[in-house]
Chain A
Amino acid sequence: NAGVTQTPKFRILKIGQSMTLQCAQDMNHNYMYWYRQDPGMGLKLIYYSVGAGITDKGEVPNGYNVSRSTTEDFPLRLELAAPSQTSVYFCASSTLLAGWNEQFFGPGTRLTVL
């Protein structure tokens, strides 16, 4: 199993540009999450999904959109990129089986907005 994969690894955007961060998992997990991590800080939840077709906002959703058309994929869309969106973005998945919510993280996408 590849686990959780993310593409691209690095990206530089200009202010106002848009892009989609890709995330896929092959563990058949129902739950998927997008976090951002600013330098020296913790993880903040952007959006999450409890299954295909179901998404909900996290702590910092403004400026982002998500979709979940399949169990495997959970892309994150940035519209009109701003310097404040410079961060490392992590995708994660979990099963939430019997109260066990271990989250498996992808390697991250380092995004710089100039």
Chain B
Amino acid sequence: GQQVMQIPQYQHVQEGEDFTTYCNSSTTLSNIQWYKQRPGGHPVFLIQLVKSGEVKKQKRLTFQFGEAKKNSSLHITATQTTDVGTYFCAGPVGQGAQKLVFGQGTRLTINP
């Protein structure tokens, strides 16, 4: 079945350093979503990318969707302690894209 792989699994940075997580799908995606899960919390939707090559920014977060719509990345500039958590990408599967398949997530920890 369709798989979505994320790397790295873990990333530890000093506060102020940049962070990037990468997502790769085994098949072409109609769109890709990103979620953030704080420690002990639940996943919260961040963004959805739809167009080939699309780039979207949310303050210090930059999201990219690859030209072939099979990969995506999330880049955080100058990390802050509030960025701690696990970041998941997810792609739609199934008839009518009713379901999402999630990557394993990248857990970000930050040294203040």
Which range holds the interface residue count of chain A? Answer: 20 to 34
Q: In the bound complex, do residue B43 and residue A45 qualify as a contact, i.e. CB atoms below 8 Å apart?
A: no
Q: In the bound complex, do residue A102 and residue B42 qualify as a contact, i.e. CB atoms below 8 Å apart?
A: no
Q: In the bound complex, do residue A104 and residue B104 qualify as a contact, i.e. CB atoms below 8 Å apart?
A: no
List B contacts of A92 (CB < 8 A): 43
> A101-B92, A102-B33 given as contacts; is B43 within 8 A of A43 (CB)?
yes
Bound-state CA distance A58–B42 (Å) is 20
List B contacts of A106 (CB < 8 A): 42
Which range holds the interface residue count of chain B? Answer: 20 to 34
Could you list which residues of chain B lie within 8 angstroms of chain A, going by C-beta atoms?
Answer: 1, 6, 30-31, 33, 35, 41-45, 48, 50, 88, 92, 96-105, 107
Q: In the bound complex, do residue A107 and residue B42 qualify as a contact, i.e. CB atoms below 8 Å apart?
A: yes
Nearest-neighbour CB distance to chain A for B48, whole angstroms, equals 7
Nearest-neighbour CB distance to chain B for A23, whole angstroms, equals 12
Q: In the bound complex, do residue A48 and residue B99 qualify as a contact, i.e. CB atoms below 8 Å apart?
A: yes
> A101-B33, A104-B45 given as contacts; is B104 within 8 A of A96 (CB)?
no
Q: In the bound complex, do residue A40 and residue B107 qualify as a contact, i.e. CB atoms below 8 Å apart?
A: yes
List A contacts of B97 (CB < 8 A): 96, 99, 101
Among all A-B residue pairs, the 5 with the closest Cβ atoms: A105-B42, A42-B104, A43-B102, A102-B45, A42-B102
Bound-state CA distance A4–B65 (Å) is 29
Nearest-neighbour CB distance to chain A for B96, whole angstroms, equals 7
